[in-house]
Structure 1
């Protein structure tokens, strides 16, 4: 029996490694493609060059789209996290569990409804309000898609929170506002960080909805990448994809490390 357990563990690790490689391999292929010396996608590259990164960072069209995506993503992360926190607090305060579950399902609808359906509905509304092709329109539209992720993450944070800590703070003379900021909020920060990350990535990667509400004067990076694919096979597209991959990976790892340090600091 003792010999079987290490064998089983090794087998599970091997299967996990194969699955992980299968999932990330298509993504990793993009990296060498961005360094090709030819003006077309060739894998593996015959020659190597940095010209496509130069093309990306010296092109006003590409850099402007990148800055737009970063700005919109950060605003969506902020708005969706605040709204997700308020929604989670409201669901937590409801006495009726049936009503809370119904409202929670309603908040998760954008995750279930096909993106094209959501895009058509939002486009029809925004067209009448004059929000098509505006930063505000992008933020509001992307928040609709990002909000379910923040609600799930923050609700999960509340699930692991001990309500007795709030009761103890109230019994010691703290009011509800002080209790929230000194007791409740610090304990759900990891959930809020996770929700903000999901919201940012959801906005940063969104293509379908962005195609409907974009304008010639406001483009996001995924939309420009999609347009580039339909026009030509310029490897600048691979350079842009690599920039996104490195940026989002660094952001997620940094946030997870910071969140882990906060958790260890509270436990100690």
Structure 2
């Protein structure tokens, strides 16, 4: 018997194909909308900063500046901004060096030695970040006044260390935990001392992690605002405080130029951080 084609079979298959094709187009459209929204959220504020930094005159209701130029860029560099920029970089560099001196040996001991209550010890380092910064720094400011450190570079560095040590210790502990103890045990079995093993085995292997930790601390110190304002101002004016003063005085162009100058080092350092931060460190992060 001759087989007969069931009526409506071909249209049904064609309809299913159109349905699948339409579903694929809908997915593509949703992805494009999501990408556009992400670009708007990321690039929108940056575009606004760039427009304000180049606007010499901008009146409502014009969507773009009435007069463009570099007048406010020149004003910023001719004023006190350069001093604030140098102060911010000096402070961040000193905070980073002090953090490494403190956190590297301490993190090695926490990672390698069986210290009673080391989980509690690590949690103690998180306390400054577990509470709102304003009351923490305000109480610290009372102690700073007793020690005559308010308005000094030493006071600003110490208040930055309160938060920076958290990033440094937790990162370095995960770095040392990602290094196999068998390498150090082999060095000790061959007659090397623990001090020699630390400086010639553990420390060189942890160098990428030390660089990543340093970049995190440097970025934190460079952008730290609350502690710098409470302890340093008005004598020690870092870049975040300079930007705050400009925005508070409705100097939008000056604040925008300062924000861009403060943002550029962060972008460069974050790209470097992506290069040095390894997946092994992230997998060991917080493991005690």
TM-score band by shorter chain is 0.7 to 0.9
Partner of 1:34, secondary structure, is: helix
User: Does residue 139 in structure 1 map to residue 141 in structure 2?
Assistant: no
1: CA distance between counterparts of 2:167 and 2:194? 27
Residue deviations 1:37-56 (CA, integer Å, cap 9, x gap): 32689864444312221111
**2:132 aligned partner:** 114
Higher RCO structure (Cα 8 Å, ≥6 apart) = 1
2: CA distance between counterparts of 1:76 and 1:47? 42
Q: Greater CA radius of gyration, 1 or 2?
A: 2
Partner of 1:37, secondary structure, is: strand
Q: TM-score, normalised by structure 2?
A: 0.77
Which residue of 107, 114, 119 maps to 1:88?
107
**2:182 aligned partner:** 164
Q: Which runs of 5+ in 1 are unaligned?
A: 1-6, 264-268
Greater displacement, 39-48 / 229-238: 39-48
Give the direction of change, closer, same or farther, for the CA distance of 1:99–1:118 in structure 2 (3 Å limit): same
1: CA distance between counterparts of 2:189 and 2:29? 53
Partner of 2:55, secondary structure, is: coil
1: CA distance between counterparts of 2:63 and 2:221? 30
What RMSD in Å do the two structures reach over aligned CA positions? 3.0
**Is the CA contact (8 Å cut-off) linking 1:37 and 1:48 kept in structure 2?**
yes
Give the direction of change, closer, same or farther, for the CA distance of 1:161–1:104 in structure 2 (3 Å limit): same
Give the direction of change, closer, same or farther, for the CA distance of 1:21–1:154 in structure 2 (3 Å limit): farther
Q: TM-score, normalised by structure 1?
A: 0.83
Cα deviation for residue 118 of structure 1 reads 1.3
Residue deviations 1:107-159 (CA, integer Å, cap 9, x gap): 11111111101111110000000000111111111011111011121122123
Give the direction of change, closer, same or farther, for the CA distance of 1:135–1:37 in structure 2 (3 Å limit): same
Residue deviations 1:74-105 (CA, integer Å, cap 9, x gap): 11111112222132123124425x61110000
Which residue of 230, 235, 242 maps to 2:260?
242
Q: What is the aligned residue count?
A: 253
Partner of 2:149, secondary structure, is: coil
Q: Which runs of 5+ in 2 are unaligned?
A: 1-23, 281-288
**Is the CA contact (8 Å cut-off) linking 2:175 and 2:209 kept in structure 1?**
yes
**1:50 aligned partner:** 70
Partner of 1:239, secondary structure, is: helix
